[in-house]
A and B are shown apart, each in its own frame.
Chain A
Amino acid sequence: MPYDYAPFPYTAPAGLTEPEPRQRVVIVGAGPIGLAMALELAQHGVSSVVLDDNNVVSVGSRAICWSKRSLEILDRLGVGARITGKGVTWQVGRTFHRAAEVFCFDLLPEDGHKMPAFVNLQQYYVEQFLVEACQANPLVDLRFMNRVTAVTQNGFTTVEIETPDGAYTLESEYLLACDGAKSPLRQMLGLEFDGELFEERFLIADIEMQGDFPSERRFWFEPEFHSGQSALFHKQPDNIYRIDLQLGWDADPEAERQPEVVVPRIEKVVGHSDFRLDWVSVYSFQCRRLARFVHDRVIFVGDSAHVVSPFGARGGNGGLQDVDNLGWKLTAVLDGTAQPGLLDSYDRERTFGADENIRNSTRATRFMTPADGVERLFRNQVLALASKADFARPMINSGRLSKPCVYPTQAPDDSRLPEMTRPGAVAQDAPVGNGWLMDELGRRFVLLCLGSDTPEVSGIDVIKFDPTQMLRARYLGTADRAIYLIRPDQVIAARWVDADAGMIETALSAARQ
């Protein structure tokens, strides 16, 4: 069944007839990032207006692989169960060279996590679920067919907006640019990306077919069905399959997207012609970012701030981590409980995260589309070695899949505690009672006490559990007790085996700067 791209309702905004009061936050772009941003702020009690120049979800599957961390973030925003319920869960990736399997990875080899390693779900479903959650939330004012045409800022921001019924202006304390890779706001501010552009084109197609394909990611180097190039295959719900085919830089994007060219290529991939073409696009890619994400009162979030090649699913997933990082900080600044300087830490931490994503996706792209000469020589010899020596197999890079970065920090730490939960890392989920640790961490700073007495600290929530085997493995290591200070975005701010109130208060105030 093809997806029904039903338009969302447009209503004439109040600003057309009389000036509207200044908003706390205006978000530009109702893609996954803008919508998630509005819900994130709403959960912190902050209202926002979301402007989008369109009135339908995005066409085609686009971002399809949602990582465990994204699923945790989306779960907190209230759409986790819908996404995991509708999507295809997977954790195994197989890489082939010609017809032989040369490398296999399992992304979540251990249990005890509420969310799976990855869920494949077309971007249009994720947007639909987020739109419906926004429509049900009184703190989110979602305005379709509202196109921003100009922006100015002077201690606050002013945008000029065009609608089917005319133009109006809207002021806000902060303006969040969630308007995607081609971000018109970025252009209005005269900002440009720095980084690398790859001379390679891929065909991307969604096809509908009956079949019993396993829920795995499959990647081929030089497959017999697509000579000398590479191919990627993903299963999605509704019997929709996603195929990415390398075309080479000389390919003509307009010609390649014609069904009479696409269909024979797909026939060679799936081995029959019993399918329906659902969506086709041709893309080239870049791995680039803005030098800074925060420009006074205009803040860039998601693809408007950074773009990567798709191998590794680090675009949409990286953007959701921006949302998670910015929500509590912007709330604290708007509420006056933190100085505007806290937003510098969004810039610092998320440019660090973007650099890690860019580095990983650049390396994967290099391996997949090597330059002629020595780059191609080593790529081909790694592939050749893989069939005769195990060590070469993990060197095969068809994309290193999205994981949250560990933010650099000087916060208190203790070497007896496990590396995976060191300060700067996202907390690890684990079963607690009848539920999950991630669900117990709220929207505020929290003190997690494991096998430890509760220190007397005012103004902070304390949660306490008896250490189970999984909590020990993930949080205690060789120690028998620990105290973790965890941020509202579930990032570990500091940890101790023993701490007094003064130490905790010092770490708390450092994390709020």
Chain B
Amino acid sequence: MTLITSPNIAQADEFYAELLAAHNGLSDAQSHALNAQLVLILANHVGDPNTLKEALTLARQGFDTPP
């Protein structure tokens, strides 16, 4: 399994709205906590170590170059 980077969520706008709604009423600290749990839950669902590595690499891209 390799990381899917092409669009893969059928109703992307719907998901985006649900993601924001999941944070409704949370403080910044609580939102960070929720995001951390979400990362762990989704990572466990993916499972495959190579796919996870690719995801980490993709997420990290751009953070190492000065703004």
Contacts from A to B (Cβ < 8 Å): 377-378, 380-382, 384-385, 389, 391-392, 395
Contacts and interface: CB of A to CB of B under 8 A. Distances in A.
A382 B38 CA distance: 11
Contacts, number: 23
A391 B44 contact: yes
Interface stretch (B11-19, B29-37, B56-64): B29-37
A385 B35 CA distance: 12
A8 B61 CA distance: 63
- Say whether chain A's binding surface is mostly helix, strand, loop, or mixed: helix
Contacts of B36: 377-378, 381
A356 to B, nearest CB: 18
Contacts of A380: 33
A392 B44 CA distance: 9
Contacts of A385: 37, 40-41
- Say whether chain B's binding surface is mostly helix, strand, loop, or mixed: helix
Contacts of A382: 40
Contacts of A392: 40, 44
A381 B33 contact: yes
A430 to B, nearest CB: 32
B32 A389 contact: no
A381 B41 CA distance: 11
B41 A389 contact: yes
A382 B37 CA distance: 7
Nearest to B47: A391
Interface string B22-52: 0000000000110011001100100000000
A436 to B, nearest CB: 37
A382 to B, nearest CB: 7
B23 to A, nearest CB: 15
Contacts of A377: 32-33, 36
B44 A384 contact: no
Residue among A378, A380, A381, A389 with the highest chain B CB neighbour number at 10 A: A381
Nearest to B34: A381
A405 B41 CA distance: 31
Q: Closest 5 interchain pairs by CB?
A: A381-B36, A391-B44, A381-B37, A377-B36, A378-B36
Nearest to B38: A381
B14 to A, nearest CB: 24
